[in-house]
Each structure stands twice: as structure tokens, then as C-alpha cells.
Amino acid sequence: MQRREFLATTAFGAASLAAGLYAAPAQQTRRVALIGCGWYGKVDLLRLIQVAPVEVVSLCDVDSMMLAGAADIVSQRQKSGKKPRTYADYRELLAEKDADIVLIATPDHWHALPMIAACEAGADIYVQKPISVDVREGQAMVEAARKHGRVVQVGTQRRSTPHLAEAKRILDEGRLGTIGLVEIYCYYHMRARENPADEQPPENLDYELWTGPAPLRPYNKLVHPRSWRAFTEYGNGIVGDMCIHMLDMVRWMLSLGWPASVSSTGGILVDKRSKANISDTQSATFDYGDLKVVWTHRTWGDAPDPGDQWGATFYGDKGTLKANVHWYEFRPRGGQPVRKEVAYELEEYPEDKTEPDIEQHVAPAVRGHMRDLLENIDSRGKPVADIEEGHISTASCILANLSMELGRSLAFDPATHTIPGDAEATSRLARPYREPWTHPGA
């Protein structure tokens, strides 16, 4: 097959997935379970219901109110009208062994253990990004997926965003020429600014189980729901939340693997009053030799371009490509710009118009990501955001945070999963687990 024919074929495949052409095998209704019934857990599950004949058989969450609310929504949206079984402990849900697909959308510190257990239970999996809070967790997750032959899609849905797939073709065709620098960035004021007093957890929340293997902090209202990203105990800050999306997009668009080295600087430079302990300012360089991918975030001040606050800019000697979740724009040197906006699909999926908390511009990408997962479950292939790709992007972001903390550049060896010549950094590739939980990479 000639290169242009291959690009045309793969472009058609991406367009087919985006257009909703996934066809389930005859008479097959897949049974689905969701672990983590908060914001994006429901977003992911409801998009899956839109694109495939599924029966949601069980839900799990440590917040009883959130769990009951999710059960009500699912019963209204799935074809059978049935309410799923509900569980507070994911181990009880997985012990039923009746889920074909398990979606995991817990806080980040609770991704690894349920994902590995779901592999052992024989399910295929959709796990949210970042896949892990430390590098060894991610390594163990990849090993579990391969050992048990499971298909695992990671929620880095930029790889299934229709207008970004079109932007990728511009790169594939070499229209930017030689690319020496990609800037990735986020300037959202998204870091928690409050400093609330600690208090007793609400009756509806099992805070001990919510904390799980993470360090046990005193409870305060920032911890649950959603603001847990303000704390390094549960995630990897804005690098782990936002950089991973853009780094993963760049890696996909340019067919990049592991960076040769990662370096980062930053810290809490401006907002010192908040209870949040993640950085408010940080830059990181992912070194690919003649190509540098440079991340910047600031949760204060103005963005350089108010119309492009979270995205990527590819600089080539023949042109520049800016890409984000809303649009892309290709500016060839000496030529006319090409711009494409996100397609919302609101008429095809009218539920998106009224669903609470939905990101309407992202919903088409999530649907495409679910279709890609289903296609690969059928073929037993690797989805576009296979667990190993998710591990590379996640671990690279974790290394950026570790570099900032240690004050030096880190060269990771993916063959040995060590940082050669740096015993201290290597020892920090796995976080200590709180008893009685056992680290899967120990």
C-alpha cells in the first residue's frame, strides 16, 4: 500500500468511528460496570450507552448519594430501564464476574488497583487518565493487561477527536516541514484557591475507603468531590491532569515514544494562601533529541492568547499548527490559513443538550473513543489509546513532577523502569501505600 493510500484509509477509519458507524455483533449486548460514579464516570458511561447496545449491570462508589444518583440516571438512559446493582466496594462488584466491560473513573490514586483487579476478573477496561499516580503502578497495569489478554482504552480522548484527527493528517503529509519545537500549555485558573477548615466527613462518604492506599489527610470540603486534584496525595497536579492530554496528543500526532529525558521547574510561586499543595506555576521539557516538547502552566495572570488557553502549537520550518479541544489552525508560510472547528453532534445526540455537567465539545471525542474500544474488543486488537500508550504519557508527566521536586533532569530507561545512575529518583518511582493496601509494583 502506498503512503497516500494508507493515510486515506486510516483517515476513513477515523471518520467512520467519529460518524457513529460502529456495528455491534448480532444479538450481542455487552454488560457494563462503572467504578467511580462522579462527574466523568457518568460522562463516559452515558456516551457508551449512546453508541452501543449495552446493559449497565453494576455501579460502585464510596459516596452513597452519588451512587444512588448515578443509578437513577442510568435507569433513565439505558434501553432496558433497569437500575444497576450498587456497591460501595469495587472488590464486591468485580467478584460477581458478570461485567464484560469495566469503566474506571475514580480519583487518580484509585486507578491502579481496580484496573488490575478488573483484568483478573476477565473484563475489558476503559480507565481514565492519568492511569496511575506513580510509575510502578503504571508498569504493573500494563503487565496485568498483557498477562490476562485484556483490551484497555485510556481516557486520553484527543486521539479520537475528529478535528484533531484531521490536524494529524496535516502533520502526516509533512506540510509543516521539520518540526523542532512543540509548545503545550494550560492557563486555566483551575487550582483551588480556598483554605477551608478541616471537618468530619459527611455521612454519605466512606472516607476511609475513599482514601484507600493514599496518605490519610484530615477531611475538608476540597477533598470530595472533584477538588481532590488540589492535593498531591491523590494525583499529580495540573501536569497529571492537563499536561497528559496535550503531551499524549503530541505523541500520537508525531508518533513519539518515551522522551530521552524530562526536566521541570516551578512550584507554588504566587498563590500561597490556598490549602492546595500542587504547583501554581510549572514548566517541563520532554526531550526527544532534535525535537523538544515544552509544557507550561500558570493558574494566575493572563494567557498569552486568551483564545487558546489549553492546547499545543507545533512549529515547523514550513508552517505552524495550533491545536486544541475547540479547533485547529494551520498557518503555512506564505499560504492561506486552514481552520477547522469542533463538531458538536447535538442534533444526532439531543441528550447532550440537557445533560448536567457535560462538556458538549468533548462528547463526540468520548463517543469516538468508546467506538474504538468496542471495535478492538471485537478484534482483540489494541485501541488507539492502549494502556501502554497511556503509561508512557502518564509516566512522563510523573517524571516531570519528580524532576521539579529533585531539582534535576531525569533520564528514564523504559527497558528497566529505572533512572540509571540516580538511586534516589529510582526509589521514588513507587509511592508508599497506606496499610493494609499493597502496591502492585512492589
Distance CA 227, CA 238 (A): 12
Q: If pLDDT is split at 50, 70 and 90, which confidence band does 8 have?
A: very low
Q: Which three cell numbers stand for residue 97?
A: 464476574
Report the SS3 class of residue 320. Answer: strand
Type of residue at 123? A
Distance CA 386, CA 54 (A): 22
Distance CA 366, CA 370 (A): 6
Total-model pTM = 0.94
Q: 391: closest CA among 339, 429, 353? A: 429
For domain 18-157, which architecture applies? Answer: 3-Layer(aba) Sandwich (3.40)
DSSP track, 197-245? PP-PPPTTB-HHHHHTTS--PPP-TTTSSSGGGG-TTTS-HHIIIIIHH
For 397-417, what is each residue's pLDDT tens digit? 999 999 999 999 999 999 999
Kindly calculate the radius of gyration of the chain based on its CA atoms and give it in whole angstroms: 21
For 295-326, what is each residue's pLDDT tens digit? 999 999 999 999 999 999 999 999 999 999 99
Q: If pLDDT is split at 50, 70 and 90, which confidence band does 27 have?
A: low
Long-range contacts of 424-432, Cβ-Cβ distance < 8 Å, separation of 24 or more: 428/402, 429/134, 429/135, 429/136, 429/402, 430/134, 430/135, 430/136, 430/137, 431/133, 431/134
Once rounded to an integer, what is the mean pLDDT over residues 414-425? 97
Q: How many CB atoms lie within 10 A of CB 154?
A: 31
Residue 276 makes CB contacts below 8 A (sequence gap 6+) with 191, 192, 193, 222, 230, 231
Torsion of the alpha carbons at 286, 338, 334 and 6, rounded to the nearest 10: 70
The helix (run of H) or strand (run of E) holding residue 286 is strand 281-288
Q: Which residues in 19-95 belong to E strands, given as ranges?
A: 30-35, 54-60, 85-87
For 321-374, what is each residue's pLDDT tens digit? 999 999 999 999 989 999 999 999 999 999 999 999 999 999 999 999 999 999
Structural domain boundaries of the chain? 18-157
Distances (CA, A) of 280 to 201, 272, 298: 27, 9, 6
pLDDT of the residue at 442: 81
The helix (run of H) or strand (run of E) holding residue 339 is strand 338-341
Residue 5 makes CB contacts below 8 A (sequence gap 6+) with none
Distance CA 38, CA 24 (A): 28
Q: 279: closest CA among 299, 293, 295? A: 299
For 373-385, what is each residue's pLDDT tens digit? 999 999 999 999 9
Distance CA 197, CA 199 (A): 6
For 28-58, what is each residue's pLDDT tens digit? 899 999 999 999 999 999 999 999 999 999 9
Q: Out of 8-17, 111-120, 409-418, which region has the weakest mean confidence (pLDDT)?
A: 8-17
124-127 and 152-154 strand pairing: parallel
- How is residue 89 annotated by DSSP? S
The helix (run of H) or strand (run of E) holding residue 167 is helix 162-172
